[in-house]
Amino acid sequence: TLFSMVTPLSWLLRVPTFKEKVKAQPHNVNYGLVGYPVLMTADIALYKGEIVPVGEDQLPHLELAREIVRRFNSIYGFVFPEPQAKLTSFPLILGLDGIQKMSKSYNNYIEIAASPQEILERVMTAFTDPARRYRSDSGHPDICNIFCLHKFFTPARVDEIASECRRAGIGCVECKKMLAESISSTLEPFREKRAILASKPNYITEVLADGANRAEAIAKETVREVKEKMRLLQRVQLEHIRD
């Protein structure tokens, strides 16, 4: 709420993801959609986050977060550091549809805990090179989403895969099977770790509780500092004296 009072509406209306949502669902525009970036900013600033691991699609939101905290600091005095993005070497991974980012919301994702068979079934539904209609046709790896995923999951063989694709040495089905095997192999340690943690529900609860307690302490101190800068504490103290 406090951040919303220093955030011009024009800043929120120019966010790319907001424009996309409005275009896709013009009759479903509400405050929650418009104000979401402010809540994201609060989530970061409440703990005075400086480095934020995000995907490339979230960079506009993070830039807005910097503008919001910069404006707050300029009005009330320095409280919040300006958060910077931490991107991986693959800041955006397209989903199996080859159009949108990989996301559970779009049902174009591969679950980390999925079994090898489930991974294979998901990968086999993925879109490939739209220009390659027949097995004997030369492929175009640069425009194929399966090849993009190979870059992440099969980095040691990307040159070989690209060459075989271009000369029709392998077909899309074979390429998908190779990718499914690579994904399954990459995710195997995560599946094993997840199985171990799933057998220790009390441990998970304790870790979450400990993290929540430490986060709450930081959040309370930040809120106190913000109210002090905005002189809200003085008003509360004066009202208490009158009583």
C-alpha angle 96/118/181, rounded to 5°? 75
Our answer to whether residue 101 is catalytic in this structure is: yes
Given the residues 48, 101, 227, 229, select the one marked as catalytic: 101
Measure the CA–CA gap between 54 and 86, rounded to whole angstroms.
Answer: 6
Backbone angles phi, psi at 191, to 5 degrees: -60, -45
Given the residues 21, 177, 227, 229, select the one marked as catalytic: 21
Residue with tokens 């640069």: 142
Measure the CA–CA gap between 196 and 192, rounded to whole angstroms.
Answer: 6
Given the residues 19, 23, 48, 104, select the one marked as catalytic: 104
- Whether the Cβ atoms of residue 34 and residue 99 lie closer than 8 Å to each other: no
Which DSSP state fits 84? E
- Whether the Cβ atoms of residue 58 and residue 66 lie closer than 8 Å to each other: no
Our answer to whether residue 21 is catalytic in this structure is: yes
Q: Maximum Cα–Cα distance for the chain, whole Å?
A: 87
The count of C-alpha atoms lying within 13 angstroms of the C-alpha of 82, restricted to the half-sphere facing its C-beta, is 10
- Whether the Cβ atoms of residue 12 and residue 34 lie closer than 8 Å to each other: yes
Our answer to whether residue 193 is catalytic in this structure is: no
Which DSSP state fits 49? -
CA 219 from centre of chain: 23
Residue with tokens 């669902």: 25
Give the residue numbers annotated as catalytic, written as ranges: 21, 101, 104
